[in-house]
Amino acid sequence: MTFRISIIGFGAVGQGVAKVLLCKRETLQNMGVDIQVVAIADSRSSLINSEGIDLEKALQAKKTNGRIGNERTMSDSALEAIRDLEHELMVEATPTNIKTGEPALTHILHALGSGKHVVTSNKGPFIHNHATLINTARDNDVMLRYEATVGGAMPIINLIQENLAGNTIHRIEGILNGTCNYILTRMADEGLDYHHVLLEAQELGIAETDPSYDVMGIDAASKLVILANTAYGNNVTFADVQITGITEITPETLELADKNGYTIRLVGEASKDLLTVAPKLVSKKHPLAIRGTLNIATIHTDLSKTITVSGVGAGSIETASAILSDIIHIYKKHKAH
Amino acid sequence: MTFRISIIGFGAVGQGVAKVLLCKRETLQNMGVDIQVVAIADSRSSLINSEGIDLEKALQAKKTNGRIGNERTMSDSALEAIRDLEHELMVEATPTNIKTGEPALTHILHALGSGKHVVTSNKGPFIHNHATLINTARDNDVMLRYEATVGGAMPIINLIQENLAGNTIHRIEGILNGTCNYILTRMADEGLDYHHVLLEAQELGIAETDPSYDVMGIDAASKLVILANTAYGNNVTFADVQITGITEITPETLELADKNGYTIRLVGEASKDLLTVAPKLVSKKHPLAIRGTLNIATIHTDLSKTITVSGVGAGSIETASAILSDIIHIYKKHKAH
């Protein structure tokens, strides 16, 4: 069975997916997984080949020309053509839009509505209307997976859905933003102030030019919403999270914490009734006192007690790895069906 | 669809499964998972009811009489009767036999051979002939799952099989035995010697009366074999592991390590070519410097980079939770099939 997929969004993540499919071609063949990319769209252009796109050429074209095919904007006929194209699965890898979830929300609902499975790394649609997405997938008898939306390669969505099936989840705590964690780790280690370390992080490419999305706690809050909806199915949205960022933390506060055996971390916490993202004192011996750009989450349950997972929270290949695992999961289920 | 299951072995784990099925009856109903236990066997007796066993009564009988039904030994007709009984899934929860893998090996092969899915917590069969088990399941078109064999509720088998699908696993390192980790943590914290802490652990029920299985590294080595076979499919056995236990560790060694920012942990390490269990120096800042009875494992991969998971490594309810997640996984796949 050949599984035809489209990749919508061809920035870091979309290209990561193409690279991973290229370098894992043999591995996938040995696993009996036969995947063919039949369409790629970026914000300005698109490429369709029902016989299978040459991914190496597509990556090269993107690198050379900044786009992959004919000049078009993504909302127009190019995307329609992809929607009308016969294929089994769409990878939605456009950048997250916190405010509206668009254009990913429309892409995903259209794909599900036309009977296509969807795998995505895009947080936007899930923080606005998780339930609509889940219900649309169910009503159309297709699968929607989103492991890559939270913490890159950190395996947490599948953990909640599979390993903790049947468990009651009391609470989830996590360090869900690597940029903030890097800044807090460096500030504590070196006694440096926030602005100094932020500049350093920007130079290293760990923080964006406009870092507000990370340092204000917005990114962590988005991931927390997705975790809460996955664990509790209660359709919370971004507006339900109480958020405090890390911009007010001083080296003096960190030093005082350190003297008492603590450090400060930007902790996201979700229970059935409460969603918060805020700097918190964490014992230096506690797993959440994780260092650097790593992400970590601890899940407190009734049967399994406490489970902790950590991993690289970002990166195009790490995120693509989470997308690949979702594609393989769907491939196998689709095949068995 | 009603899923009929048998529970073979009714000690701590088997009873844990019965307790979990009882207390999660409503949760499972809401999930659309309909499970009925039609047979239970312990080492001396068995109980069969094709209409569904009253689990509360069975647990009570076990508690009161030390057995669940008519006096019989497990290898005889009672087990045959269960094998002949029509049902979809067998839970194998007898105690691990490191030397031969029996009687679990025979139970599992018979169940798979007669077209039943199997979920097990028993390490024995997997450290002797992993490949035969996997192939028998495949040849009979049934599923065999064993999340509970490694680290209780620590979610690692499914992680390797699902989340890391497509990844190349370079190396796995883990703290796979809670008893050893408790002893080493206490020795380092209090400057106490091995024998003193062992006694304390025995009084607390953390170490067995005969602790050799744990402190000699045998238990950790068994789990390592299962992880290696799951990651590499190379059918290694217990005999392939180089094992050193923790009995020679002194408080002086731990103190010296501590002064240099390290501690000592019993680390299991698996790569494609090498399997070792031995005490190793671990930086106190490293995740593997985990404290107390917890289990932890770090997986180094090409795409996802480094993923770490930790959880409670033992306990009947924690182990039963892993078994339940495997049962639900199979139930859903079986239903979709």
DSSP A2-29: EEEEEEE--SHHHHHHHHHHHHTHHHHH
Question: Cα–Cα–Cα angle for A32, A34, A40, nearest 5°?
Answer: 155
**B3, B162, B332: which to substitute to probe chain A, counting the most A Cβ within 10 Å?**
B162
**Strand A34-41 relative to strand A45-48, pairing:** antiparallel
Residues A47 and A301: their CA atoms lie apart, in Å, by 46
Residue B74, pLDDT score: 56
Q: Is B24 a catalytic residue?
A: no
What DSSP string runs through A97-158? -TTT-TTHHHHHHHHHHTT-EEEE---HHHHHHHHHHHHHHHHTT--EE-GGGTTTT---HH
From the list A163, A303, A321, the residue facing B20 with the nearest CB is A303
Nearest chain B Cα to A31, which residue? B166
* Contact present, B298 and B308 (Cβ < 8 Å): yes
The distance of A26 to chain B (nearest Cα, Å) reads: 10
Whether A308 and A320 share a structural domain: no
CATH of the domain at B218: 3.30.360.10
Total structural domains in chain B?
A: 2
The distance of A336 to chain B (nearest Cα, Å) reads: 6
Inter-chain residue contact B306 with A307, CB threshold 8 Å: no
Residue A78, pLDDT score: 61
A309 has a chain B CB within 8 A of its CB: yes
Whether A14 and A52 share a structural domain: yes
Assign residue B235 a region (left: φ > 0; alpha: ψ between -120 and 50; beta: otherwise): left
Whether A298 and A320 share a structural domain: no
Phi, psi (degrees; rounded to nearest 5) at B330:
-65, -40
Inter-chain residue contact B307 with A164, CB threshold 8 Å: no
Structure tokens at B293: 């009875």
CATH of the domain at B40: 3.40.50.720
A46 has a chain B CB within 8 A of its CB: no
User: Who contacts A247 (Cβ-Cβ below 8 Å, separation ≥6)?
Assistant: A194, A215, A216
**Which residue in this structure is represented by tokens 């497990």?**
B74
A185 has a chain B CB within 8 A of its CB: no
A285 has a chain B CB within 8 A of its CB: yes
Domain extent, residue B303, equals 162-312
Whether A143 and A200 share a structural domain: no
Residues B135 and B112: their CA atoms lie apart, in Å, by 10
Inter-chain residue contact A162 with B329, CB threshold 8 Å: yes
Question: What's this model's pTM, rounded to 2 decimal places?
Answer: 0.94
Inter-chain residue contact B165 with A31, CB threshold 8 Å: yes
Whether B69 and B146 share a structural domain: yes
Residues A158 and A163: their CA atoms lie apart, in Å, by 7
Give B 51-110 residues with CB within 8 A of chain A: none
Query: Does the interface predicted TM-score (ipTM) exceed 0.90?
Result: yes
* Contact present, A48 and A68 (Cβ < 8 Å): no
Give the full edge-to-edge strand order of the sheet including A169-175: A242-243, A275-283, A262-270, A169-175, A294-301, A306-312, B306-312, B294-301, B169-175, B262-270, B275-283, B242-243
* Contact present, A232 and A167 (Cβ < 8 Å): no
Which residues does chain B have with pLDDT short of 50?
none
> Does residue A67 sit in helix, strand or coil?
coil
The distance of A75 to chain B (nearest Cα, Å) reads: 32
**B154, B321, B323: which to substitute to probe chain A, counting the most A Cβ within 10 Å?**
B321
Which runs of E-coded beta strand occur in B126-199?
144-145, 169-175
Whether A246 and A182 share a structural domain: yes
Nearest chain A Cα to B159, which residue? A155
Residues A115 and A90: their CA atoms lie apart, in Å, by 10
From the list B147, B290, B328, the residue facing A166 with the nearest CB is B328
Which residues of A participate in catalysis according to the annotation? 223
Long-range contacts of B94-100, Cβ-Cβ distance < 8 Å, separation of 24 or more: B94/B8, B94/B9, B94/B11, B94/B43, B94/B122, B95/B9, B95/B11, B95/B122, B96/B122, B96/B123, B96/B124, B96/B222, B97/B124, B98/B123, B98/B124, B98/B127, B98/B213, B98/B218, B98/B222, B98/B238, B100/B124, B100/B128
A325 has a chain B CB within 8 A of its CB: yes
A166 has a chain B CB within 8 A of its CB: yes
Residue A153, pLDDT score: 86
B287 has a chain A CB within 8 A of its CB: yes
Inter-chain residue contact B325 with A158, CB threshold 8 Å: no
Note the helical H segments in chain A. Answer: 12-23, 25-30, 55-65, 77-84, 104-113, 124-139, 157-158, 178-190, 194-203, 212-215, 218-232, 251-259, 316-336
Residues A135 and A129: their CA atoms lie apart, in Å, by 10
Q: Which of A213, A176, A219 is nearest to A312 (CA)?
A: A176
Whether B16 and B132 share a structural domain: yes
Residues A110 and B41: their CA atoms lie apart, in Å, by 52
Inter-chain residue contact B166 with A305, CB threshold 8 Å: no
Nearest chain B Cα to A287, which residue? B287
Whether B305 and B276 share a structural domain: yes
Whether A8 and A58 share a structural domain: yes
A28 has a chain B CB within 8 A of its CB: yes
As averages over each run of 10 residues, the pLDDT of chain A (337 residues) reads 95 97 96 95 88 95 85 61 88 94 93 96 95 97 97 92 95 97 96 96 93 96 98 95 97 96 98 97 92 95 96 92 96 87
* Contact present, A52 and A36 (Cβ < 8 Å): yes
Question: Cα–Cα–Cα angle for A295, A297, A298, nearest 5°?
Answer: 155
Whether B81 and B220 share a structural domain: no
B303 has a chain A CB within 8 A of its CB: yes
Residue A71, pLDDT score: 61
What DSSP string runs through B30-86? HTT-EEEEEEEE-SSEEEE-TT---HHHHHHHHHHHSSSSEE--TTSHHHHHHHHS-
State whether the Cα torsion A257-A260-A265-A268 is positive or negative. negative
Residue A68, pLDDT score: 83
From the list A28, A166, A285, the residue facing B166 with the nearest CB is A28
Whether A52 and A107 share a structural domain: yes
Whether B191 and B270 share a structural domain: yes
- Chain B CB contacts of A304 under 8 Å are 153, 311-312, 318, 321-322
Residue B69, pLDDT score: 75
